[in-house]
Homo-oligomer: A and B are copies of this chain.
Amino acid sequence: MSHIAKERKKLLARVNRIAGQVNALKRDVETAESDSECHRIMQQIASIRGAMNGLLLAFLDEHTREHIAHGKTVEERERAAEELIEALRSFRA
């Protein structure tokens, strides 16, 4: 069983929380009238960005452990390594 199946509940809770934050942001952007709301919207965006960053890093950890370190064949481990390396490009800036 994959790490996604094993951790599905925890992962789903995390994604659901982020979905809730994105929906709250949407409502606030729709109704924001004055500059004073800018600060709050900026904080929400920063918070969702932080949550997505943390989710990606936690996912990379599990992928590294399960599919690279514990992949059954060297081919499987090589493929999983290239998938991780592709995802790490997210942090190239």
A interface residues with partner B (beta carbon < 8 Å): 2-5, 8, 11-12, 15-16, 18-19, 22-23, 25-26, 29-30, 32-35, 37-39, 41-43, 45-46, 48-50, 52-57, 59-61, 63-71, 74, 77-78, 80-81, 83-93
CB-based contact A60/B42 at 8 Å: yes
Q: How many copies does the complex hold?
A: 4
* CB-defined contacts of A5 to chain B, threshold 8 Å: 32-33
CB distance from A24 to the nearest CB of B (A): 10
Among B18, B60, B68, B85, contact of A88 (Cβ-Cβ < 8 Å): B60
CB distance from A75 to the nearest CB of B (A): 10
Measured CA separation A68–B37 after assembly (Å):
15
